[in-house]
Amino acid sequence: MKPRHKRIVFAVIAVVAIGIAAKLIIASIDKGSSYFYSPMKVLAGEAPKDQVFRIGGLVKVGSMQRIGKTLTVEFIITDDQSAEITTHYTGILPDLFKEGQGVVAKGRLRDDGIFNAEEVLAKHDEKYLAPEVKDALEEAHNEATNKKEKSQ
Amino acid sequence: MIPEIGHFALVLSMCLAIAQAIFPLIGTMNNTPSWAALARPLAWGQALFLTIALGALTYAFLVNDFSVRYVASNSNTLLPTVYKISAVWGAHEGSLLLWAFFLGIWSAAIAVLSKGLTQEVVSRVLAVMGMVNAGFVSFMLFTSNPFERLFQIPAEGRDLNPLLQDIGLALHPPTLYLGYVGFSVAFGFAIAALIGGRLDASWARWSRPWTTAAWVWLTLGITIGSWWAYYELGWGGWWFWDPVENASFMPWIAGTALMHSLAVTEKRGAFRSWTLMLAILAFSLCLLGTFLVRSGVLTSVHAFAADPDRGIFILIFLLITIGGSLALYAWRAPSIFSGGRFDLISRESFLLGNNLLLTVFTFLVLFGTLAPLIYDALEWGKISVGFPWFNKMFLMVTPFLAVLIGFGPLMRWKRTDPKKLVKKLRIAMIVSVVIGLIAFLPAISTGSLLVPLGMFLVAWIITSHITAIIDRLKHKQGISHIFADLAGKGRSYYGMVVAHMGVAMFILGATMVSHHGVEKDLRMSPGESAEISAYRFKFEGVAHTPGPNYTANQGEFTIYLDGEVEAVLKPQKRTYFAQGRPMTEAAIDWGLTRDLYVSLGEDLGGGDWSVRLYYKPFVRWIWLGGLAMAIGGIICISDRRYRSKKEKKPQQAYTEAANTLVTEKS
């Protein structure tokens, strides 16, 4: 082979290899990541049934309670409008978890509509609201105002 | 008055930075020595005024000057004095000031320690650093001024975030920033070389100790950050693949690649354009990291309240810096295949392998970190990439790197005889394979293939380096030569050995804690016991205890091993007065072979508490490994050849290189 041919073969191999690698990485990232759904979308049945996903909103004031003598705690995640998702979590809640504050939970939706959280995140800075949660709250708020305007 | 002096000093330092960016550079281009010579005094002035600014802000914290907004939001009269000082960089504005201050310090260090360099090089490097600091100080002045006053002066400050009231805040950001900023020096040298068009081995030699120094600080910063998160966040993890952790990790990986690539460029003149690219990449990733932390575009444990203006400013700054340097690179960089030739089995090609793996890994982490942004922009949904994905990617790359590490020290430049290499490493290979096989025992492997793999790699790195040292000393005739080698001449070699041992220590710690660690979340009543591994944790109860600016519930746990008391741990649940926030303070009994870790959850009523109990075997080795890497780096910097007083003339360097070539051939 001439050096020029060698280089072309090398370039082709490199391009193919990079392509395959990119494909694999994107596929694996799809598998390894969790999508975010607002409480409204979950109620509308848009969230996957058999897959881990994230949900976020505010912890409804007065909704938090312990279940028996276990470490399981129940609370409602709300978008501050009409959508509410009852959530169960077994374990120790983060320090900044508080009723009325923003929260993101990662887990699965059970058949009975209860969200089984495997992980609960509340952020380290109380001024801080996760961007997804902020969007979800705004969206719900806009929807509610739209409805009101229509009915008037 | 003092804050105004600080503000004024900041404005002055910006003016000096702009001057430093312009005059020395033009001076070197149109041959005006008087302009070029301005670089050093300007760097001095900049460092001086930034020191004054930082001092003024520290003073404002110490005297509780709540008329300064930044102090009012991040301090409190009750805050202990130590934390008042570290609170200076506890939030956005102050941490930027620290960033700029360190850039000033690095510039001044270049001005002082560059006696051996030509004025041209010094002027250009300092000009590039001036550009960077002009960007940073103006960013601070226009969007996040730490000296901004409040006109309604509050009687009391809002207090520092309780998580930050810890020695970790005094150590982690300064070391990390010294690393981040330090890469601007490597960047400066690369850009200066591109501007000057002199891409011989000499720039690599000048750049090496500075790059290693930056890398050492970054290593320390990341290590301390990991250790801090472990004990302070109360859930015992040491790495979370959080976007901001990744932001510090990416420049570290790129920087590691750069260090290795610089070695090839200095010694062999090869990989020149590759090395330049890595220098640009490493610093760009430092800037990207700052952007990610400061803009709040990614959800992260480090996220501060977001401000879009800041994000856009840094983004533009980022685009100018990266775009500009890449354009310069495209225009000036030598062709990729320039430099000395080498065989497939040679130190060059193994270092190339190391570089490719590290670069691939950098881009994987970058992709995983930015994937949520990409998905959101393309409206594919809002995702978060979980740490299983990152772990998988990490495990796909690092074993190969660890295998290469073992070969590295025994490789020769240009060409190594594979047969001789295998012969030398035979014993090391056998020992490590045997250790790997032993680790297949169920008691050790816990059913995971990763434990035998990890143990094999640890044994491989250690035994191969022992082989390499023996091989090296065998060629030294007489005890005196061996001592001379240890004491001075071979410093960078032994530094490398120590750093590589750090890698082995890290793998040992990470493997053990990941597979043998035990974690339990429990509900416990006073007097109740729980078994964790071989230990029995007895919960004695919880009592109130006061603190300087908080009140706490303090639990007491007695831990028994074989019926004997092993430790008494007192974790706390604190409530800070100023913001009424709860904070978990874990209690840890640490040891070289295991940590016992207890943290309190919530009061469940009737004296019951939810508690978290951990057994963490060998977790300390993760940070000891980081420390060893940093010490290795320091040993390398202390190598005498970086301290040669006079710069070698380029012709002389070339002749020397040619001579080495001839000698090696013969």
What is the per-residue DSSP string for B152-171? Answer: S--SS-----GGG-SHHHHH
On whether any CB of chain A is under 8 Å from the CB of B304, the answer is yes
Distances (CA, A) of A109 to A45, A76, B72: 10, 14, 44
**Residues of A with CB below 8 A from B301's CB?**
123-124
Write b or e for each residue in B342-372: b if 16 or more Cβ atoms lie within 10 A of its Cβ, otherwise e.
beebbbbbbbbbbbebbbbbbbbbbbbbbbb
Query: Residue B564 carries which DSSP code?
Result: E
Instruction: Indicate the residue of A54, A66, A124 with minimum beta-carbon distance to B163.
Output: A124
Task: Please judge whether B386 and A33 are an interchain contact, meaning their C-beta atoms are less than 8 angstroms apart.
Answer: yes
Beta-bridge partners for B195: none
Nearest CA in chain A to B91: A125
Residue B409: other Cβ atoms inside 10 A:
18
What pLDDT is recorded for position B267?
Answer: 84
Query: Residue B593 carries which DSSP code?
Result: S
- Min Cα distance A145 → chain B (Å) is 24
What pLDDT is recorded for position B618?
Answer: 95
On whether any CB of chain A is under 8 Å from the CB of B337, the answer is no
Instruction: Indicate the residue of A54, A92, A106 with minimum beta-carbon distance to B610.
Output: A92
Domain edges within chain A: 1-33, 36-151
**Residues of B with CB below 8 A from A124's CB?**
161, 163, 301-302
pLDDT per residue as tens digits for the range B4-15 = 999 999 999 999
Reference B264, options B355, B186, B335; nearest CA is B355
Reference B240, options B252, B218, B225; nearest CA is B225
Nearest CA in chain B to A129: B305
| pLDDT surpassing 60 at residue B307 | yes
Q: What is the ipTM of this complex?
A: 0.81
Instruction: Indicate the residue of B297, B384, B604 with minimum beta-carbon distance to A33.
Output: B384
Task: Please judge whether A95 and B581 are an interchain contact, meaning their C-beta atoms are less than 8 angstroms apart.
Answer: yes
On whether any CB of chain A is under 8 Å from the CB of B299, the answer is yes
In angstroms, rounded to a whole number, what is the distance separating the alpha carbons of residues A30 and A11? Answer: 29
Nearest CA in chain B to A67: B604
Can you state the angle between helices B119-143 and B308-332, rounded to 10 degrees? 160
In angstroms, rounded to a whole number, what is the distance separating the alpha carbons of residues B639 and B633? Answer: 10
- The beta strand positions in A60-129, using DSSP E, are 65-66, 72-78, 84-90, 102-109, 115-121
What pLDDT is recorded for position B659?
Answer: 44
Q: Which helix (H) or strand (E) is B277 found in, with range?
A: helix B272-295
On whether any CB of chain A is under 8 Å from the CB of B292, the answer is no
Beta-bridge partners for A75: A87
Q: Quick one: pLDDT band at residue B661, thresholds 50, 70, 90? A: very low
Per-residue pLDDT averaged across B397-408, rounded? 91
On whether any CB of chain B is under 8 Å from the CB of A128, the answer is yes
pLDDT per residue as tens digits for the range B344-390 = 778 888 888 899 899 999 999 998 888 888 887 787 888 888 788 89
On whether any CB of chain A is under 8 Å from the CB of B575, the answer is no
Write b or e for each residue in B66-94: b if 16 or more Cβ atoms lie within 10 A of its Cβ, otherwise e.
bbbbbbbbbbbebbeeebbebbbbbbbbb
Reference A58, options A33, A84, A37, A32; nearest CA is A84
Q: Quick one: pLDDT band at residue B297, thresholds 50, 70, 90? A: low
Who's near B380: CB < 8 A, 6+ residues apart? Answer: none
Instruction: Indicate the residue of B296, B389, B581 with minimum beta-carbon distance to A28.
Output: B389
On whether any CB of chain B is under 8 Å from the CB of A103, the answer is no
**Residues of A with CB below 8 A from B303's CB?**
123, 125, 128
Distances (CA, A) of B355 to A51, B172, B404, B589: 37, 28, 11, 39
Task: Please judge whether B299 and A28 are an interchain contact, meaning their C-beta atoms are less than 8 angstroms apart.
Answer: no
Who's near A108: CB < 8 A, 6+ residues apart? Answer: A50, A51, A52, A53, A115, A116, A118
Contact between residue B289 and residue B180 where contact means Cβ atoms under 8 Å apart: yes
pLDDT per residue as tens digits for the range B247-276 = 899 999 999 999 999 988 888 878 888 899
In angstroms, rounded to a whole number, what is the distance separating the alpha carbons of residues A61 and B130? Answer: 53
Q: How many A/B residue pairs have CB atoms within 8 Å?
A: 91
**Residues of B with CB below 8 A from A126's CB?**
579, 581
Q: Quick one: pLDDT band at residue B340, thresholds 50, 70, 90? A: low
Q: Quick one: pLDDT band at residue B83, thresholds 50, 70, 90? A: very high
What pLDDT is recorded for position B548?
Answer: 87
In angstroms, rounded to a whole number, what is the distance separating the alpha carbons of residues A133 and A79? Answer: 8
Contact between residue A101 and residue A80 where contact means Cβ atoms under 8 Å apart: no
Q: Which of A10-19, B535-544, B640-649 has the lowest mean pLDDT?
A: B640-649
Please tell me which residue, A144 or B304, carries the higher pLDDT value. Answer: A144
Q: In degrees, to the nearest 5, what angle opens at C-alpha B49 toward C-alphas B150 and B319?
A: 80
Q: DSSP labels for A7-71?
A: HHHHHHHHHHHHHHHHHHHHHHHHHHEEEEE-HHHHHTT-S-SSS-EEEEEEEPTT--EE-TTSS
Can you state the angle between helices B387-407 and B347-377, rounded to 10 degrees? 170
User: What is the domain class of A36-151 according to CATH?
Assistant: mainly beta
| pLDDT surpassing 60 at residue B650 | no
Selected for mutation to probe chain B from A37, A124, A126, A134 (highest B CB count within 10 Å) is A124
In angstroms, rounded to a whole number, what is the distance separating the alpha carbons of residues B435 and B304? Answer: 47
If phi > 0 it is left, if psi is from -120 to 50 it is alpha, else beta; for residue B197 that is: left
Task: Please judge whether B161 and A124 are an interchain contact, meaning their C-beta atoms are less than 8 angstroms apart.
Answer: yes
Which residues of B, range 378-397, sit inside 8 Å of A by Cβ? 381-386, 388-389, 392
Do the bridges between strand A102-109 and strand A115-121 make them parallel or antiparallel, or are there none, so unpaired? antiparallel
On whether any CB of chain B is under 8 Å from the CB of A139, the answer is no
Tokens encoding B610: 């939810």
Selected for mutation to probe chain A from B294, B383, B573, B585 (highest A CB count within 10 Å) is B383
In angstroms, rounded to a whole number, what is the distance separating the alpha carbons of residues A35 and A55? Answer: 8
In angstroms, rounded to a whole number, what is the distance separating the alpha carbons of residues B505 and B405? Answer: 14
CA dihedral angle for residue B80, residue B64, residue B168, residue B4, rounded to 10 degrees: -160
Average predicted confidence (pLDDT) for chain B: 87
What pLDDT is recorded for position B554?
Answer: 95
**Residue with tokens 């994987």, as numbered in its chain:** B364
Per-residue pLDDT averaged across B617-625, rounded? 96
Q: Quick one: pLDDT band at residue B304, thresholds 50, 70, 90? A: very low
Who's near B357: CB < 8 A, 6+ residues apart? Answer: B397, B400, B401, B404
Question: pTM for the full model?
Answer: 0.89
Q: DSSP labels for B513-558?
A: HHHH-EEEEEEE-TT-EEEETTEEEEEEEEEEEE-SSEEEEEEEEE
Task: Please judge whether B303 and A125 are an interchain contact, meaning their C-beta atoms are less than 8 angstroms apart.
Answer: yes
What pLDDT is recorded for position A88?
Answer: 94
Q: Which of B313-317, B407-411, B527-531 has the lowest mean pLDDT?
A: B313-317
Who's near B162: CB < 8 A, 6+ residues apart? Answer: B550, B574, B576, B579, B581, B583
Distances (CA, A) of A38 to A47, A56, A112, B586: 9, 6, 18, 34
In angstroms, rounded to a whole number, what is the distance separating the alpha carbons of residues B304 and B94? Answer: 13
What pLDDT is recorded for position B144?
Answer: 85
Nearest CA in chain A to B305: A128
| pLDDT surpassing 60 at residue A127 | no
On whether any CB of chain A is under 8 Å from the CB of B278, the answer is no
